[in-house]
Copies of this chain bind each other. A is one copy, B any other.
Amino acid sequence: MRNPKEAAHKATGPILGHTQRGQCSKRLSILDAAAEVFCREGFAGASIDEIAVEACVSRQTIYNHYREKETLFTAVVEDVMNRTNSSLYSILATFPDKPDSLEDDLSAFAVRLTKNCLCNQDGKFLRKLVQSEGERYPQLFEGWRKHGPGKIGTALAALFARLSYGGALQMEDFDLAARQFLALVNADLQILTLFGESPTDEQLETAARNAVRTFLRAYSAPATNAPASQPPVKAVG
């Protein structure tokens, strides 16, 4: 789902959608529908006709824009990856720099992350498709590995490093802490998302709060420890 307008179109059903959307953006319509169907059926199970119906477009139009099924598939993956990456970076920019309450601010950050990246439609798409088609298209998802969870991991690690030098956290391996932070946030969520359910806002907040509390119990600097003595940054390998 690309934006609220299209969500509204989806809601009205395919009948009205025909002329509702400017014909200049059939490509977007196709990409959205294809993402939906590929996610639901997998690459092999998805049929071009099904995508055409869902996109309110003739099959031939799909073949005009994207030469063949595989071309369409890679286009969809790259589209979703780009959207997710940009969303990811804008969220990373909201990381609590000088936190008022570390627990509250980290929790809110974790909620933003899960709600807009990890647990939304795009996140579900990437999770499913990387899992089912990742081995078949290694170079296609290599970008996801590097710029998706890979990048989020190193970015988070850098942010944790800043908090450590500021004296709020105490840890030796920032990358490890970042991976564990993400793992803890997902701990309560993955069972829900595995079955396609979208967690409610309340569930997201509970999961984030639980994760952050445990994370801080493990990594918050002891109150007695002055922020003066900090371990040196270990080179990231």
Contact = CB atoms under 8 A, between A and B. Distances in A.
Interface residues of A, number: 47
Contacts of A131: 127-128, 131-132, 194
Interface in A4-49: 40-45
Interface string A138-164: 100100010001100000000000000
Contact of A186 (B45, B127, B183, B218): B183
A2 B145 CA distance: 32
A68 interface: no
A194 B134 contact: yes
B135 A195 contact: yes
A189 to B, nearest CB: 10
A210 B176 contact: yes
A69 interface: no
A191 B186 CA distance: 14
Interface of A: 40-45, 127-128, 130-132, 134-135, 138, 141, 145, 149-150, 172-173, 175-176, 179-180, 182-184, 186-188, 190-191, 194-196, 210-211, 214-215, 217-219, 231-232, 234-235, 237
Given A45-B45, A138-B195, 17 more contacts: A127-B131, A128-B132, A134-B196, A135-B195, A141-B195, A173-B232, A173-B234, A176-B210, A176-B232, A176-B235, A179-B187, A180-B214, A182-B187, A214-B219, A215-B218, A217-B218, A234-B237
